[in-house]
């Protein structure tokens, strides 16, 4: 193997222990996370008075809730990129589609409280439409829309993936066509005629399931829901990568030819994980929209798709916890920069892309592991 090949691989551990889902340390961490999300956050936000140092501000709740949705996307990206080697630059599309699905429901929930006091959402009145278009047929029903949130992105991912993987499109070609796909979708959604609010998208939500959306209690419920979903997905992903299925995925990433010659058909595996990751992103999008209060086509832009990849890369691919950390780190930095030094945010992000790929191929998690190993060696 040439030097180029080895340098492209993340650090190989000396011994690969037979992996069980989580060690005892892992389960403790999960329990701590559950308690934080389920108990600590609501208490600190709703019960602790505002002046107190321990109070979790509404702003923080909204921000962390948003970042947790992003973390779900990063987790999904790790499953297809870190473990299966498929770099998708278009996962923002599934996130946005899920968001739009929820957004449609929320727009109908505004009812007559919009600017035009009509049963139809404002933008439809503005466009002079008399009835809702066909794709809004189910938008009154929460359950139906939630089914669509999962079904539409899932189906789109399935069809796209089926044709792409069947033609053995790999590597960079695949990434480029995912980018083209999300770009085309963004153009489509920018048109007013498509019936999704054009370049303004959906906003000004009032209620969800009859409950006012701007209340702290609703926010907290959404926060807890997002947190539990994130933890749930993490556990599911952990379990999945430790099954034979997960090992086949890694084999596909490392040597797809060999996998085929071992008798496996990579198509089924790739398609399954691809669709799963798309659905995860869609659910994240659906949780994102009520917390952030707006969705527009720029969520589908190529730039947002690539950002998901960078969260995974910064955190550390193929580690599941890494991308979650990466999402928190990068989005936390973004939040800080855009307040303190807005001009420098893009410099920072750009530099992050460059430096992580050049010097930190295993991300934060890999870096930490290396440090720990070095310490262990020094001690020994």
Partner 1 sequence: MTPELMEAGTDALNKHLGLVASNAGESGGRAASYGRVVEPDQLDVTHGSILYLDDISVSFDGFKALNKLCLNIAVGEMRCIIGPNGAGKTTMMDVITGKTRPDAGTAYFGSTIDLLARRENEIAQIGIGRKFQKPTVFEHLSVFENLELALKADRRARASVFFKLSGEQLDRIGEMLKLIHLKGQAQRTAGLLSHGQKQWLEIGMLLMQDPKLLLLDEPVAGMTDEETERTAELFLSLEGAHSLVVVEHDMKFINELTTRGANANRKRVTVLHEGSVLAEGTLADVQANDKVVEVYLGR
Partner 2 sequence: MSVTPLHAETKPAITSRAGRALSASLLTLSLTLALAFAVGPRDAHALTADEAYALSAGDNDARIATLQKLVAKGDPALPAFLDALAADTVKVAGNKAYIVYGDEVKDAATGAPAKLPDGAEDVVNNNRMSSEIEAALGAGKLLSKDVATRAEAIDSLSKAADESKLPLIDKALAAETDPKLKTLLKAVRAKAMLSSSDAGTRIAATKALAEDATPEARALLMERMADGSETDSAVKGSLQLALDKVNRKLAWGEYAGVLFTGISLGSILLLAALGLAITYGLMGVINMAHGELMMIGAYATFAVQNVFRNHFPGAFDWYIVLAVPASFLAAAAVGAVLERGVFRFLYGRPLETLLASWGVSLVLMQGVRSLFGAQNVQVENPAWMSGGSDILSNLTLPYNRLVIIAFAGVVLLAMTLLIAKTRMGLFVRSVTQNRPMASCMGVNTARVDTMAFSLGAGIAGLAGCALSQIGNVGPDLGQNYIVDSFMVVVLGGVGQIAGTVYAAMGLGLINKFLEGWAGAVLAKIMVLVIVVIFIQKRPQGLFAMKGRSAEA
Residues lying near partner 1 in the complex (CB under 8 A): 9, 12-18, 240, 243-245, 247-248, 250-251, 253-255, 257-266, 268-269, 272, 318
Question: Distance between CA atoms of 305 and 309, rounded to whole angstroms?
Answer: 7
**347 counts as binding partner 2 under rule CB under 8 A:** yes
For partner 2, the binding residue among 54, 209, 340, 358 (CB under 8 A) is: 358
Partner in contact with 268, chosen from partner 2, partner 1, none, beta carbon below 5 to 8 Å by kind: partner 1
For partner 2, the binding residue among 310, 318, 320, 324 (CB under 8 A) is: 310
Q: Is 215 helix (H, G, I), strand (E, B) or coil?
A: coil
318: left (phi over 0), alpha (psi -120 to 50) or beta: left
User: What are the tokens at 217?
Assistant: 């209690």
Q: How far is the CB of 193 from partner 2 (least distance, A)?
A: 8
Whose structure tokens read 């948003």?
66
**164 counts as binding partner 2 under rule CB under 8 A:** yes
Applying CB under 8 A, the span of 103-111, 139-147, 326-334, 349-357 interacting with partner 2 comes to 349-357
Q: Is 202 helix (H, G, I), strand (E, B) or coil?
A: strand
User: What are the tokens at 133?
Assistant: 């278009």
For partner 2, the binding residue among 1, 12, 143, 172 (CB under 8 A) is: 172
Site track for partner 2 across 54-93, x = CB under 8 A = ---------------------------------x------
| CB closer to partner 1, 318 vs 352 | 318
Q: How far is the CB of 22 from partner 2 (least distance, A)?
A: 29
Strand 211-212 versus strand 207-208 pairing type: antiparallel
**Cα-Cα-Cα-Cα dihedral of 357, 359, 361, 362, to 10°?**
-140
Q: How far is the CB of 319 from partner 1 (least distance, A)?
A: 12
**293 counts as binding partner 2 under rule CB under 8 A:** no
Partner in contact with 358, chosen from partner 1, partner 2, none, beta carbon below 5 to 8 Å by kind: partner 2
**181 counts as binding partner 2 under rule CB under 8 A:** yes
Question: Distance between CA atoms of 166 and 76, rounded to whole angstroms?
Answer: 22
Question: Distance between CA atoms of 350 and 344, rounded to whole angstroms?
Answer: 10
| CB closer to partner 2, 236 vs 333 | 333
| CB closer to partner 2, 183 vs 239 | 183
**12 counts as binding partner 2 under rule CB under 8 A:** no
State phi, psi for 135 to the nearest 5 degrees: -80, 0
From the number of C-beta atoms within 10 Å of its C-beta (0-12, 13-18, 19+), residue 279 rates as: buried
Question: Distance between CA atoms of 249 and 247, rounded to whole angstroms?
Answer: 5
Q: How far is the CB of 177 from partner 2 (least distance, A)?
A: 5
Question: Distance between CA atoms of 136 and 199, rounded to whole angstroms?
Answer: 18
Give the length of the chain.
380
Applying CB under 8 A, the span of 97-105, 183-191, 235-243, 263-271 interacting with partner 2 comes to 183-191
Question: Distance between CA atoms of 185 and 176, rounded to whole angstroms?
Answer: 14
Question: Distance between CA atoms of 320 and 208, rounded to whole angstroms?
Answer: 32
Where do contacts with partner 2 occur on this chain (CB under 8 A)?
4-5, 8, 87, 163-164, 166-173, 175-177, 179-181, 183-184, 187-188, 190-193, 198, 302, 306, 309-310, 313, 343, 346-347, 349-354, 356-358, 361
């Amino acid at each position: 193997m040439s030097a180029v090949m080895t340098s492209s691989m993340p650090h190989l551990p000396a011994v690969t222990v037979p992996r069980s889902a989580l060690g005892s340390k892992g389960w403790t961490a999960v329990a701590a996370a559950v308690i934080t999300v389920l108990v600590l956050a609501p208490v600190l936000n709703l019960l602790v008075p505002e002046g107190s140092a321990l109070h979790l501000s509404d702003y923080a709740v909204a921000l962390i809730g948003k970042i947790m949705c992003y973390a779900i996307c990063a987790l999904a990206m790790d499953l297809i990129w870190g473990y299966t080697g498929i770099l998708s630059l278009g996962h923002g599309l599934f996130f946005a589609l899920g968001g739009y699905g929820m957004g449609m429901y929320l727009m109908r929930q505004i009812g007559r409280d919009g600017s035009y006091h009509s049963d139809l959402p404002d933008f439809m009145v503005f466009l002079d439409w008399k009835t809702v278009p066909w794709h809004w047929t189910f938008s009154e029903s929460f359950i139906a829309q939630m089914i669509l949130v999962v079904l539409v992105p899932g189906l789109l991912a399935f069809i796209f993936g089926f044709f792409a993987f069947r033609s053995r499109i790999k590597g960079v070609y695949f990434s480029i066509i995912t980018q083209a796909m999300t770009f085309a979708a963004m153009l489509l959604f920018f048109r007013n005629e498509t019936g999704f609010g054009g370049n303004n998208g959906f906003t000004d939500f009032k209620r969800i399931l009859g409950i006012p959306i701007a209340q702290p209690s609703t926010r907290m419920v959404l926060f807890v829901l997002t947190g539990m979903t994130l933890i749930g997905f993490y556990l599911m992903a952990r379990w999945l990568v430790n099954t034979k299925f997960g090992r086949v995925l890694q084999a596909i990433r490392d040597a797809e030819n060999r996998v085929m010659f071992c008798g496996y058909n990579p198509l089924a595996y790739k398609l399954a994980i691809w669709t799963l990751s798309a659905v995860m992103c869609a659910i994240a999008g659906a949780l994102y929209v009520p917390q952030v209060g707006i969705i527009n086509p720029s969520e589908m832009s190529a730039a947002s798709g690539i950002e998901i990849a960078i969260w995974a890369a910064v955190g550390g691919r193929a580690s599941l916890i890494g991308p979650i950390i990466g999402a928190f780190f990068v989005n936390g930095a973004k939040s800080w920069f855009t307040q303190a030094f807005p001009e420098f945010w893009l410099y920072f992000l750009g530099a992050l892309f460059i430096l992580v790929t050049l010097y930190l191929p295993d991300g934060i998690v890999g870096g930490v592991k290396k440090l720990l190993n070095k310490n262990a060696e020094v001690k020994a």
